Amino acid sequence: MSALSIKRLLIFSLGLLIWFAPTPIGLTPQAWHLFAIFITTIGFVIVDALPIFVASIIALSIAVFTQTLTPKEAFSGFSESFILLIVVAFLLAKGVINSGLGKRVAFMIIKRFGSSTLGLAYSTMLTDILIAPAFPSNTARSGILFPILNALCIDSNSKVEDGTHKKIGSFLMFSSMAGLTLSSSLWLTAMAANPTGVAIAKKMGVNIDYGMWVLGAIFPVLVLFILIPLVLYIIFPPQIKKTPNAPIIAKRELEKMGKFSKNEWIMSIIFISILFLWIMSEAWGLDKTIVALFGLAMLMVSNIFTLNNLKEEGGALEILVWFAILYTLSVYLGKFGFMAWLGEIIAGGVGGQSWQMVYLILVVAYVLIHYFFVSQTAHMLALFSIFLEVGIRFGVDGELMALMLLYATNFNAILTPQGSSANVIYIGSGYITPNEVYKFGGIITLLNTFIFLTIGTVWILWVI
């Protein structure tokens, strides 16, 4: 039997064990069975026994065959607006490349920062952090960053198709994906769940304003901004580190490209319009996915993205299917009471400890529970109020507890491939595998948690 078959059999047996284990008190058998399916699916992906797509469709089939979910429930994720947003953003990115605009912007970045791979990583992360306060969705932000980054990788001759993606592409993509956890933590307005969390805290008597949020985050974010690319540089290194000639080549290529082409103009206008409408979407009550879809239509009407291009983008379907399925499983784990049950168990376990221990356990548990969640907002909505209440009950300062949990909602986003919708687009590109996210995303989450819990806590207690 091959090593792969053994791995598959092992995970499957573990899944069966969990399924047939006695249902814990306080849970319905249905919730427990769904948990068994979910954890087994994740197990398959972590040990690389099945691709995330295959593991997901098997999981959904089993969930329906065993009547853990009805077919209607099973397919509900496919019509989620934010999941479709990822799919459309993925297609828009191809338009940026097709039009030549991606090439131009990529060469402009290389010309300026391209002499080292590390320099490129820092510059893309910094861009993200700077645009984030005006951009209340890390998914949408990934939709803006990804196409440029993708062009950057392609024009640095690091492509998935020919197996050269590890040259610089995988490293850059991972840095940018990790960078999103920082940009979302730093600004109250950088992620949809942030203001919602603040509103929930307010109802519980804990007031957090914009200044306090940024002030609390700025120092740990700064430290992590410096550390993350360095750590990735060691654990997930690019094959090519120095590219002294790249800026010279980029300069030459830019000269060769000459003036903006018609397609670049059209693409720029569409891209900037989408960007603008995404930023205004909350204020104007626009649906981000519809904005993106209309942008895609305009790209197709102007032949920048064609039907033939679309026919090659099976990867977008792949994203849609596995992400919708994992999202659905997680949503029903919540609906069946599993999340609340888990939260209560952890909350119940911290009684009698010092406030520091309570704080530590709650934050670490909150981060690790993200293994069960697909999308950050769902996690925050399910558990933030329970954890905050328990923290306050056992003596933790309300503002500290609330801030740290809300930061954690962002800095744990890279724990799993499905942990944030922003991750999905990077993984869809093929530069990063789901398995690598479990490994290196886990390490970065550990780093984030460590820095926020140590330096961050001291800093917050000092400034607020």
Site residues (vs its own copies, CB under 8 A): 50-51, 53-54, 57-58, 60-61, 64-65, 71-72, 74-81, 84, 87, 287, 289-290, 293-294, 296-297, 300-301, 307, 309-318, 320
> Measuring CA to CA, which residue among 296, 220, 260 is closest to residue 460?
220
Provide, rounded to whole angstroms, the least separation between the CB of residue 312 and its own copies: 5
DSSP codes joined into one string, 141-168:
HHHHHHHHHHHHHHHTT--TTTT-TTTT
Give the tokens for residue 293: 């879809």
On the 0-12 / 13-18 / 19+ scale of CB atoms within 10 A, 231 is: middle
* Burial label, 1 (beta-carbon count in 10 A; 0-12, 13-18, 19+): exposed
Shortest Å, Cβ 64 to its own copies? 4
Smallest gap from Cβ 136 to its own copies, in A, equals 16
Coil, strand, or helix at residue 24?
coil
The CA distance from 71 to 64, in Å, is 6
From the CB of 433, what's the least distance to its own copies, in Å?
11
CA distances from 17 to 33, 36, 451 (A): 11, 9, 37
Measure the CA–CA gap between 131 and 190, rounded to whole angstroms: 9
Name the burial class of residue 441, with classes exposed (0-12), middle (13-18) and buried (19+) by CB atoms within 10 angstroms of its CB.
buried
Residue 160 CB, nearest approach to its own copies (Å): 10
Q: With respect to its own copies, which residue has the nearer C-beta, 43 or 343?
A: 43
Cβ closest to its own copies, residue 76 vs residue 116:
76
Work out how close the CB of 301 gets to its own copies at its nearest, in angstroms, rounded to a whole number.
6
